[in-house]
A and B are shown apart, each in its own frame.
Chain A
Amino acid sequence: GENVEQHPSTLSVQEGDSAVIKCTYSDSASNYFPWYKQELGKRPQLIIDIRSNVGEKKDQRIAVTLNKTAKHFSLHITETQPEDSAVYFCAAHFRGGNEKLTFGTGTRLTIIP
C-alpha cells in the first residue's frame, strides 16, 4: 500500500518568511496530492492540491510542487502570517483503483510574530 513520509514534524518561522514542508510517497501510481490545514480543535481543510500531470500549482501565498520521478511533493507558504500557524498534512491518492487518501504524519507550523 501507499506510504507517505512528511518532514519536518515541527517548523517555526518568523512572520513574513517562507515555510517549506516536504513529503515523499511510495506508490508510483498515486496521481493526486492534496494538502490539508488543521487548526486546533477543527477539521482538516483542503488548502491546495495537485494532480500528477502538473508540476506546480499556485494559489496566492501557497504553492505546491511535484516531482514524479523522485516521488516527492512540497508545500511552500510565502510571506507567512500568524494565521498560518496550524498543523499541515500532505496526502497521496490513487484514482481509478482503491480510492482512498493516505496521509503524512503532519507538520506543526508556528509563525513567530
Chain B
Amino acid sequence: SAVISQKPSRDICQRGTSLTIQCQVDSQVTMMFWYRQQPGQSLTLIATANQGSEATYESGFVIDKFPISRPNLTFSTLTVSNMSPEDSSIYLCSVEVPGYYGYTFGSGTRLTVV
C-alpha cells in the first residue's frame, strides 16, 4: 500500500486565521481525498482532488472555506480558511493506489481553533 506523509500532525490556531495541511504520497495516484473527523464521529468526505483539475466538493463544503491544491500526482494541500472553533477537528487525507484495492489514510492533522 501507499505511504502518506501528512503534516502538521497538530496545530492550535487563532480564529480568523488559515491553516494549510500537506499530504505527500510515495507513489503516483490519480485521486486524493480529504476527510474531516470531528471528535467521536465518523469520517466525512470534504472533497476529491484530481491532478490538473478543480477539486470536487461534497455537499456542505465549499472551495472558499477549504481550498485544495493538487500540483502533481504525489502531493496535495488542504487549507482551512477563516477558522472558527467549529473547525476544530481531525483532517485526514487518503489515497487509493492503483492495483491495491484499499484506501490508505495519512496520520491526520488535529486542529484546535481558539
User: Which residues of A are at the interface with B, using a C-beta cutoff of 8 A?
Assistant: 32, 34, 42-46, 49, 51, 89, 99-106
Instruction: Identify which of B42, B45, B48, B92 gathers the most chain A CB atoms within 10 Å of its CB.
Output: B42
Q: How large is the interface on B (under 10, 10 to 19, 20 to 34, 35 or more residues)?
A: 20 to 34
- Distance in Å: Cβ of A85 to nearest Cβ of chain B: 16
Inter-chain contact A101/B103, CB cutoff 8 Å: yes
In the complex, the answer to whether A43 meets B42 with C-beta atoms within 8 Å is: no
Task: List, in ascending order, chain B residues with CB within 8 A of A32's CB.
Answer: 101
Q: Whole-angstrom distance from the CB of B79 to the nearest CB of chain A?
A: 21
Instruction: Label chain B's interface by main secondary structure.
Output: strand
With a CB–CB cut-off of 8 A, which chain B residues contact A49?
A: 101-102
Contact of B42 (CB < 8 Å), options: A42, A46, A105 = A105
Residues of chain B in range 29-74 having any CB-CB distance to chain A below 8 Å? 31, 33, 41-45, 48
- Of the A-B pairs whose beta carbons lie under 8 Å apart in the complex, a sample of 8, sorted by A's number, is A34-B102, A43-B92, A43-B106, A49-B101, A99-B31, A100-B45, A101-B33, A101-B94
